Structure 1
Amino acid sequence: MSRVSCATSLCAWVALVLLASPVFAQSIAQRPNVILIMTDDQGYWDTGATGNPHIKTPHMDAIAKQGATLSRYYAAPVCAPTRAGTMTGRYYLRTGLYNTRFGGDTLGKDEVTVAELLRRAGYRTSLFGKWHLGKYPGYQPQQRGFDQFMGHYHGHIERYQFADQLYHNGQPVRSRGYVSDLFTDAAIDFIRQSDTASDQPFFCALMYNAPHSPFLLDTSHYDQPQGDAFIKRYLDAGLPIREARIYAMIERIDQNIGRLKQTLKELGQWQNTVLIFTSDNGGVSTYYNGGMHGRKASVYEGGVRAPCFVQWPGRIPAGMIINAQTSHIDWLPTFCELAGAKLPEDRQLDGRSLASLLCNDSDAPHHRYVYHTWDRYTPNPHQRWAISGDRWKLMCQVAATVTDSSQQRKQWRLYDLQADPDETKNLIGQHPEIANQLRKEFLAWFEDVTEGQTYQPVAIPVGHPDEAVVELSPSWAKLKGDHVQYVFEGYDWDTIEGWRNAGESATWQLDVQAAGDYLVKASYGSAAVDSGGCLQLKFLSESKPQQIEHTVQATATANQFKTVVVGTVRLPKGKQSMTACVADQCDAELMRLNSLQLIRQ
């Protein structure tokens, strides 16, 4: 089929879908399946299709060769903001999310996800892999529109073999095997079930946690030789060990994409499936970057451009290159258009459907501007921000410490991306008027997306009907005191340490959804020579304040945590706080608090 006839076919198909109402059962089987594959920390330069001569990614490359490449596709500088935008079609600052940790990585409760919209339109929905948009009940994937979820809530996990931080529809699970294989197996099983159980189309988000650190291949007694073989290939080619591990992890994903594609072909679903491959932010590898400036967490092109290939056999012309600015926020309206699903009308959507670009093989402008900003703790318009049009990009990676606007301006950079895509020549001196206009546009956007938002951790749901046990994470606490501090060495192994002075404290905000008795447990470590001090837990609500005291017990070492019962408390329904504090002055560190649990009785 020629490029013209392919494009015409796609246009005609899209037109038919748009005329179809989601409630018409006779049209549901004609709508395409949608598979969104997103990797974690894979840079634009980390595929063969984007020019890397060292890495082996034949299946990723085939998607580009046989489909469309979005050459100026933008993610956010870091992962959770990209995932929030992908799920909602909105820039992340509109959704209440503002961080990748510390409770700021939770998608606002009132947000509507693409999974919810597609499910309303008759799709079966699933997500396998990394969620990173909420760990507490009410915020989990199976409660945000996904029929099936198996994966993890955190920004990364610590074990890739026999992963022990995984959940299936809200329940903790044990697993065996290499995690990229595991998530692919789950996706394949879901697709097979969809093929046999009903004639419903499906939406599957396959969100690999690789190649995010820790950079691990197979490490088990049984499978380590296989993992070592992947790494050795790149070591033999001259790559340093860190880069060899990253490339090997990406190649392992590529092989799994091949397995997924083969399953679709065996089931006869290949022709009716839209397959998207992309990543969630700029890369972390350093061996080859194709001349691009910046990496993950920066607003240079290397930090925000991601590989993006789209294949739909017989519908999208092979080898198409789309040069228009596109964005992660475009997926929700794109999928809804292809599925005939209604867009929400009660909120501002920032994304625009890509269907016309894919349909018409067009290089016409898509977004007038694409915006980026990232500050871990408090969103602000002065540090790590960027705005780009089809030609010009204005950005500031590191703000001056002074607030004077003339001093801030010295950190600005203006690039002509058409002539200088690698951002090597700062032209702000030659074109100050363009910089002024772009800065004005950025500030107007920032004011719009942050309007009415309060960026702080959500109150932790306690007593939710779907989860009797709620664990209060150390990173969600507000700390008070000269010595008390948060220490991160991995999700689920983080602690609050340095408790010494009486009154030094950590406070969590709670949303108790069912009044009643709650058993309180604490997980901590305390060296034998430091144990014996008193920990107080104070509960403050509109009713009478309550308090529990606990004498800290010794563990083998302060970094070995044990869980002990602290007591029982009767909590009223509603918003309230819980504070852990030192009761009396300590000669040494009271403990290293790993978590507190509230268990509905």
Structure 2
Amino acid sequence: MKKLLKMKSTLIHFLSVFLLIGCNQKEVLIKPNILLILTDDQGWGDLSFHGNKLVETPHIDALAKESIVFDRFYVSPVCAPTRASMLTGRYHIATGTTWVTHRMEVMREEEVTIAELLKPHGYVSGLFGKWHQGKQFPHDPIGQGFDEFFGFAEGHLNNYFDTKLTHNFEEVKTEGFLPDVLTDKAIEFMEKQDLFFAMLSFNTPHSPFQVPDAYFDKYKSKGLDEKDACVYGMVENIDDNVGRLMHYLKQSGKIDNTIVIFMTDNGPNGIRYNGGMKGKKADLDEGGVRVPFFIKIPGYGNQVIKPWGGHIDILPTLAAILSIEIPGNLVIHGKSLFPLIKGVAGNWEDRYFFTHHVHLKFDTIPGAVRNQEYLLTLKNKQKALYNLLLDPSQKNNILETEPDIANELEKLYLDWLNEMTKKGVDPPLIQVGHPNVPTVELPASDGKRSGNVLYKGEMGWANDWFINFKKPEDKVFWEIETVENARYDVFVQMANDSPFKMEIFGQEKSFIYETDQLHQAKLIPNRDRVPRTEVEEMEWPMLSVGEISFEKGKTSLEISFLGEQFENIGVKGVVLRKLK
């Protein structure tokens, strides 16, 4: 598919093609730049534009007043699924992304992203901030079409001040508050490019709850508790950075030829103002999946679109605006919203929007299906039907009075789920052996465990590590696919309170690493406003334990500890550095 897209570039002309758009029939070149701003865990109600009397978001409000506003825009209940659908125009389950950790967030490499669709048409694409679709190439941003990546691949970072990020394949140290740093880098990128797709994926207001004093103190003085004061402070900081972005575009003159999108990835990460909607992040209900979506297009003024749109519609909508043909063998689940924007939709046909959510294990539920009028939610031993036009706050379950509608919607949902899972739901394997990738990281959250081994943070979110090694049968391992024969130096990120003997097993061979030296992980101080639920950030010792050769094919890399007594061993992960 990706080769097909590259071949298509020879078929696309670059003559001066113009498109008449806007009420004033203004002529605008059909190849504008694109700036897509995506925030993390910011709900529909976390904007003063949507009636929140506490938070102040004047810059986002101003953008909304210059944009096409979708009154009902839907995403997934959590972040990685939303990103997969947004990037591909396809429901996330079909892309391989089903959840947020343990590699269930990884999108298959054959999926075609917006960046890959745009590349044959002269666009240079940059991603700044959170990726959350896979850490290792080719599941990372570079492997999925982005020319530049400055950010982090995991679901979240442990600290937002002076943190370490990834720049393409290199680790870099940053200074300052992370959203400010990401905005700086996005502006630098846009300055350098003649034709760009810039995706600025903010990490806030996702936990850990950290924000500069001025923002926190402002909202604390309004009587909010520490968490909400921090969340609203993070949101206002996002707003200030949106203001900086818009100032740059206007000052540079690029605003007249740049599409700007602002959206969020799921409902709010807590109970707070959300326009009276039921639910929050990780819920199927309106409050969990309805988010702000504003798109500013050169030549178009402000309008409000009432028919619903969703994350699966972004890719086909951009393709339609840019007059880019989507290859016929690329199955897109979304629909271009451009006819609605142009006001030529006629009798716009209502559709069904499907939602699926995973918690630890894949199941047919929780799930939901909605259209303009109805919402059916399917939860554990719970089924509910709502009329969203008459009851937008979902206060009245009409399941008993409208059983035929509920049954029809449930059948549609189950048929959809069956179609979306035809390729299975097993995550793709970690790939090694790519010639131009110098380092492959195998974090604990991407690994599996057996025996007594646990995660320090219980759930195994991003940045977690393995603990509780009790006996030699307690093992951790990473499932790997070698694309080309390769040899690596093996480093284990770990800490120990006593001597140990470690066995590393891979490619049907094993070797032993033994030491009587003690290694301690060093706590990196944080600036949390409230106690965190995720693990702390640590500086981990890197033990050089030997070399390993991978031969083409599928294998695993396994670690266990020999002997009868282990003292507080923690394993953060493995780093493979390619040997020439």
- Displacement over 4 Å in runs of 4+: 361-367, 489-493, 556-560
State the Cα distance separating 1:305 from its structure 2 match: 0.5
State the Cα distance separating 1:551 from its structure 2 match: 4.2
> CA 1:167–1:364 in 2, change beyond 3 Å: closer, same or farther?
farther
SS at structure 1 position matched to 2:93? helix
CA contact (8 A) 2:444 2:463 kept: no
**1:465 maps to 2:435:** yes
SS at structure 1 position matched to 2:250? helix
**1:535 maps to 2:502:** yes
Report 1:449-488 matches (<5 A). 449-456=420-427, 458-481=428-451, 483-488=452-457
- Residue by residue over 1:551-589, the C-alpha shift from the partner in whole angstroms, topping out at 9 and shown as x without a partner, is 464234798742222222333232211211232332x44
Moved more, 154-163 or 373-382: 373-382
> CA 1:298–1:473 in 2, change beyond 3 Å: closer, same or farther?
same
State the Cα distance separating 1:518 from its structure 2 match: 2.5
Q: Give, in whole Å, the separation in 2 of the partners of 1:459 and 1:287.
A: 39
| Letter matched to residue 548 of structure 1 | I
| Letter matched to residue 111 of structure 1 | E
**1:291 maps to 2:290:** no
CA contact (8 A) 1:292 1:301 kept: yes
- 1:599 corresponds to which of 572, 577, 580: 577
| Letter matched to residue 321 of structure 1 | V
- Residue by residue over 1:421-462, the C-alpha shift from the partner in whole angstroms, topping out at 9 and shown as x without a partner, is 011111101111111000000001000011122423x22222
SS at structure 2 position matched to 1:324? coil
Report 1:243-262 matches (<5 A). 243-262=228-247
Which sections of structure 2, spanning at least 5 residues, go unmatched? 1-10, 19-28, 524-538
Give the corresponding residue for 1:5.
Answer: none
Give the corresponding residue for 2:320.
Answer: 337
Give the corresponding residue for 1:215.
Answer: 209
**1:582 maps to 2:561:** yes
Give the corresponding residue for 2:465.
Answer: 495
Give the corresponding residue for 1:12.
Answer: none
RMSD of aligned C-alpha atoms? 2.2
State the Cα distance separating 1:505 from its structure 2 match: 1.0
SS at structure 2 position matched to 1:372? strand
CA contact (8 A) 2:521 2:541 kept: no
Report 1:481-560 matches (<5 A). 481=451, 483-488=452-457, 493-527=463-497, 531-541=498-508, 545-551=509-515, 553-556=517-520
Q: Give, in whole Å, the separation in 1 of the partners of 2:336 and 2:490.
A: 49
Give the corresponding residue for 1:24.
Answer: 14
Q: Give, in whole Å, the separation in 1 of the partners of 2:69 and 2:548.
A: 57
CA contact (8 A) 1:230 1:248 kept: yes
| Letter matched to residue 394 of structure 1 | L
Give the corresponding residue for 1:86.
Answer: 86
Which sections of structure 1, spanning at least 5 residues, go unmatched? 1-20, 218-226, 401-410
Q: Give, in whole Å, the separation in 1 of the partners of 2:306 and 2:511.
A: 62
Report 1:18-417 matches (<5 A). 22-27=12-17, 30-164=30-164, 166-194=165-193, 198=194, 201-217=195-211, 227-315=212-300, 317-318=301-302, 320-360=303-343, 365=348, 367-382=350-365, 384-397=366-379, 399-400=380-381, 411-417=382-388
- Residue by residue over 1:30-62, the C-alpha shift from the partner in whole angstroms, topping out at 9 and shown as x without a partner, is 422221111100001111111111110111111
> CA 1:248–1:369 in 2, change beyond 3 Å: closer, same or farther?
same
State the Cα distance separating 1:362 from its structure 2 match: 6.1
CA contact (8 A) 2:30 2:322 kept: no
> CA 1:230–1:508 in 2, change beyond 3 Å: closer, same or farther?
same
Give the corresponding residue for 2:26.
Answer: none
> CA 1:553–1:103 in 2, change beyond 3 Å: closer, same or farther?
farther
Give the corresponding residue for 2:24.
Answer: none
State the Cα distance separating 1:492 from its structure 2 match: 6.7
Give the corresponding residue for 1:567.
Answer: 546
State the Cα distance separating 1:324 from its structure 2 match: 0.9
Count of matched residue positions in the alignment of Structure 1 and Structure 2: 544
State the Cα distance separating 1:313 from its structure 2 match: 4.6
Q: Give, in whole Å, the separation in 2 of the partners of 1:365 and 1:233.
A: 45
CA contact (8 A) 1:512 1:574 kept: yes
